[in-house]
């Protein structure tokens, strides 16, 4: 990571909470490691980042984040290898993306050296929270919230950038059933879908609840105007294998430009798998399911890495997907994890030592 002169102010915990945690039985996102980072934007400037024990903070009820959802976030992971070294996966992508999200939400961008100096220090302090072993990681959640007090509907003049972390096991351990969206939608053309804007996620909870009531796990969002093209899932990009070709939607202003997605596209190229990055029509996928040409659907994202879709519902019909030999999904998941856990060579220089 970058060398930098900025150093966060550190207040270390007195007593670690680590002994109270059952690492073999973690609910995703519920337990936080000992420390967190915060950095306030005041009078047009980011102040010195502070690392302090994880815990509640004081905030006024009139803070703009509560009223106007002026907030963005990121999701990344630290992995521990067999030699107890801690690695990040393409962290510069997350750094660039949070600033892209911030820009769209009228939030001031965060300086690169502040980000990496704080992250590095935070991981060093909490390195015991990063556990070895397949599927284990420390989930890292950078986020920014609007903290100006005042309920007028305009951008805040104060912000807080924070990083909190949570030890995590594999996110989805079983294949999921999905539904292709026909009524609700996730993002508008000209909207904020490409940003990790807080409001994009809360807006999905209700349609997802309806899907769950039908026995389905997640929604594959389609374009809001026509519902004819498959775009992405709530927290994952989505791939379709038709015959031996791998299809995925091009990114646009409604779709998050996922790090896992772009890494899989690269790995496919490295391994002579044909990838077609073009609009994926619902009709084409439904027909391929009927004809048996649709071999796989899988989601790709930091939290889940790769998750197999076992079937989808569309137009009230549920389509089972076959179980194929040597699935692409399994191959990409293993290839990514081999790189993330530093078990193989890393030809693209994706992994970065955390400290």
Question: Do residues 174 and 309 touch, judged by C-beta distance below 8 A?
Answer: no
What does 309-332 look like in DSSP terms, one character per residue? Answer: EEEEEETTEEEEPP--SS-HHHHH
Cα 48 to Cα 4, 55, 129, distances in angstroms: 13, 19, 25
Task: Check binding of 235 to ligand PLP (CB under 6 A).
Answer: yes
Q: Which partner, its own copies, ligand PLP, none, binds residue 53 by CB below 5 to 8 Å per kind? A: none
79: three-class secondary structure by DSSP: strand
Spell out a b/e string for 328-347, using b for 16 or more CB atoms within 10 Å of the CB, else e.
Answer: bbebbbebbbebbbbeeeee
Q: Scanning residues 213 to 232, which ones bind ligand PLP (CB under 6 A)?
A: 232
Q: What is the CA radius of gyration of the chain?
A: 21
Question: Do residues 165 and 129 touch, judged by C-beta distance below 8 A?
Answer: yes
In the bound complex, what is the minimum distance in angstroms from residue 234's beta carbon to its own copies?
6
110 or 221: whose CB is closer to ligand PLP?
221
- Which residues in 117-173 belong to E strands, given as ranges? 137-146, 159-168
232 or 296: whose CB is closer to ligand PLP?
232
In the bound complex, what is the minimum distance in angstroms from residue 17's beta carbon to its own copies?
14
Q: Scanning residues 185 to 224, which ones bind its own copies (CB under 8 A)?
A: 185-192, 197-206, 208-209, 224
Q: Scanning residues 236 to 275, which ones bind ligand PLP (CB under 6 A)?
A: 236-237, 256, 258-261
Q: Scanning residues 157 to 196, which ones bind ligand PLP (CB under 6 A)?
A: 196
Among 19, 22, 45, 58, binds its own copies (CB under 8 A): 58
Q: Which partner, ligand PLP, its own copies, none, binds residue 213 by CB below 5 to 8 Å per kind? A: none
Q: Among all residues, whose Cβ is closest to ligand PLP?
A: 258
Q: Scanning residues 279 to 318, which ones bind ligand PLP (CB under 6 A)?
A: 300-302
In the bound complex, what is the minimum distance in angstroms from residue 177's beta carbon to its own copies?
16
d(CA 245, CA 240): 8
Task: Check binding of 234 to its own copies (CB under 8 A).
Answer: yes
Give the contact letters, 11-30, x = binds to its own copies (CB under 8 A), - = no: ----------------xxxx
In the bound complex, what is the minimum distance in angstroms from residue 10's beta carbon to ligand PLP?
29
Q: Which partner, its own copies, ligand PLP, none, binds residue 216 by CB below 5 to 8 Å per kind? A: none
51 or 71: whose CB is closer to ligand PLP?
71
Task: Check binding of 54 to its own copies (CB under 8 A).
Answer: yes
92 or 293: whose CB is closer to ligand PLP?
92
29 or 111: whose CB is closer to its own copies?
29
Question: For residue 321, which of 345, 303, 298 has the smallest C-alpha distance?
Answer: 298
Compute the residue count for the chain: 355
108: three-class secondary structure by DSSP: coil
In the bound complex, what is the minimum distance in angstroms from residue 95's beta carbon to ligand PLP?
12
Virtual torsion, Cα 190, 196, 198, 201, nearest 10 deg: 90
In the bound complex, what is the minimum distance in angstroms from residue 68's beta carbon to ligand PLP?
10
Interface stretch with its own copies, choices 9-17, 53-61, 118-126, 263-271 (CB under 8 A): 53-61
Give kind and range of the element (H or E) at residue 213. Answer: helix 198-213
Among 117, 164, 220, 238, binds its own copies (CB under 8 A): 164
d(CA 302, CA 246): 20
Classify 276 in phi/psi space as left (phi over 0), alpha (psi -120 to 50) or beta. Answer: beta
Q: Which partner, ligand PLP, its own copies, none, binds residue 7 by CB below 5 to 8 Å per kind? A: none
Q: Which partner, ligand PLP, its own copies, none, binds residue 236 by CB below 5 to 8 Å per kind? A: ligand PLP
Which residues partner with 45 through β-bridges? 42
Virtual torsion, Cα 301, 302, 304, 310, nearest 10 deg: 10
43 or 58: whose CB is closer to its own copies?
58
d(CA 236, CA 330): 16
């Amino acid at each position: 990571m970058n060398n930098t002169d900025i150093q966060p102010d550190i207040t270390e915990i007195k007593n670690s909470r680590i002994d109270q945690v059952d690492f073999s039985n973690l609910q995703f996102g519920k337990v936080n490691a000992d420390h967190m980072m915060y950095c306030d934007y005041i009078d047009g400037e980011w102040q010195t980042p502070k690392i302090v024990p994880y815990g509640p903070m004081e905030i006024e009820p009139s803070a703009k984040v509560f009223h106007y959802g002026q907030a963005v976030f990121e999701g990344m992971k630290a992995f521990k290898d067999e030699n107890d070294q801690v690695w990040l996966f393409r962290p510069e992508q997350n750094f660039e993306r949070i600033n892209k999200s911030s820009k769209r939400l009228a939030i001031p961008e965060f300086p690169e050296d502040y980000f990496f100096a704080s992250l590095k220090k935070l991981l060093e302090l909490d390195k015991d929270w990063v556990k070895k072993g397949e599927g284990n990681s420390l989930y890292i959640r950078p986020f920014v919230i609007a903290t100006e007090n005042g309920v007028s509907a305009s951008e805040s003049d104060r912000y807080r950038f924070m990083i909190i972390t949570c030890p995590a096991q594999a996110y989805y351990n079983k294949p999921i059933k999905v539904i292709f969206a026909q009524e609700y939608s996730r993002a508008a053309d000209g909207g904020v879908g490409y940003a990790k804007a807080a409001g994009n996620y809360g807006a999905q909870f209700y349609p997802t609840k309806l899907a769950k009531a039908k026995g389905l796990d997640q929604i594959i969002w389609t374009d809001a105007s026509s519902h004819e093209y498959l775009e992405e899932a709530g927290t994952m990009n989505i791939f379709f294998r038709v015959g031996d070709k791998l299809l995925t939607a091009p990114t646009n202003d409604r779709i998050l430009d996922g790090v896992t997605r772009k890494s899989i596209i690269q790995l496919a190229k490295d391994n002579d798998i044909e990838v077609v990055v073009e609009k994926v029509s619902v009709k084409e996928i439904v027909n391929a399911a009927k004809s048996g040409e649709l071999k796989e659907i899988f989601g790709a994202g930091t939290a889940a890495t790769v998750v197999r879709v076992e079937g989808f519902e569309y137009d009230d019909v549920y389509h089972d997907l076959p179980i194929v030999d040597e699935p692409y999904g399994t191959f990409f998941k293993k290839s990514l994890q081999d790189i993330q856990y530093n078990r193989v060579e890393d030809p693209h220089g994706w992994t970065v030592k955390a400290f």
